[in-house]
Amino acid sequence: MNNSTTPGIDVNTTDQDSASVFAKFMTAGVVIGFVGFVENLISLIALLNMRRPFEAFHLLLINLAVSDLVVVGLAAVGSLIMLVNFNLDQCDSMVFVARVIMEMSYIALLTPVLATSALVVNQYLAITKPLRYQTIATQRRIAGSIIALWVATALIGVILHIAGYPKLFEDPGCNIYGENSNYLVIRSATFTVLLILITALVVIVYIQMFYAIKQRVLTSAVHQQERSHHADHKLNITIAILFGTVLLFWIPGIADSILVIFMMAGTHFTMEFVIFHQVTNLLFLANALIDPFIYGIRLQEVRAGYQKLFRHLSKLPCSEEDAFFKEKNRKVSYTQCHTTTTEDVKTSNI
Half-sphere exposure of 4 (CA within 13 A, CB side): 32
Query: Angle 345-346-350 (CA atoms, 0-180°, nearest 5)?
Result: 115
Higher model confidence: residue 218 or residue 272? Answer: 272
Cβ neighbour number for residue 225 with a 10 Å cutoff = 12
pLDDT band at 7 (very low <50, low <70, confident <90, very high): very low
pLDDT over 70 for what percent of the chain? 71
Reported CATH class of domain 3-316: mainly alpha
Higher model confidence: residue 19 or residue 185? Answer: 185
- In terms of Cα–Cα distance, which of 47, 62, 68, 66 is closest to 286? 68
pLDDT of residue 62: 95
Q: Which residues of 76-106 are buried (b: 16+ CB within 10 A; e: fewer)?
A: bbbbbbbbebbeeeeeeeebbebbebbbbbb
CB 142 within 8 Å of CB 268:
no
pLDDT of residue 149: 94
DSSP class per residue in 152-189: HHHHHHHHHHHHTTTHHHHS--TTTTTT-HHHHHHHHH
Residue 103 has pLDDT above 70, yes or no: yes
Query: Angle 328-332-333 (CA atoms, 0-180°, nearest 5)?
Result: 115
For residue 140, give every residue at least 6 positions away whose Cβ sits within 8 Å of its Cβ, in sequence order, or none: none
pLDDT in tens, 168-203: 555 555 556 655 567 778 888 888 899 889 888 888
Name the residue ranges covered by the structural domains of the chain.
Answer: 3-316, 320-350
- In terms of Cα–Cα distance, which of 113, 47, 48, 114 is closest to 295? 47
CB 274 within 8 Å of CB 259:
no
pLDDT in tens, 227-284: 455 566 777 788 888 888 888 888 888 888 888 777 765 555 677 777 887 888 888 8
Residue 334 has pLDDT above 80, yes or no: no
pLDDT of residue 330: 54
- Amino acid identity of 324? F
Instruction: Let me know how long the chain is.
Output: 350
- In terms of Cα–Cα distance, which of 252, 261, 258 is closest to 281? 252
305 Rama class: left (phi>0) / alpha (psi -120 to 50) / beta: alpha
CB 257 within 8 Å of CB 188:
yes
Q: Which residues of 51-75 are buried (b: 16+ CB within 10 A; e: fewer)?
A: eeebbbbbbbbbbbbbbbbbbbbbb
Classify 137 as helix, strand or coil: coil
Sign of the dihedral defined by the CA atoms of residues 188, 169, 95, 18, in that order: negative
Cα 67 to Cα 288: distance, rounded to the nearest angstrom: 9
pLDDT band at 35 (very low <50, low <70, confident <90, very high): very high
CB 349 within 8 Å of CB 342:
no
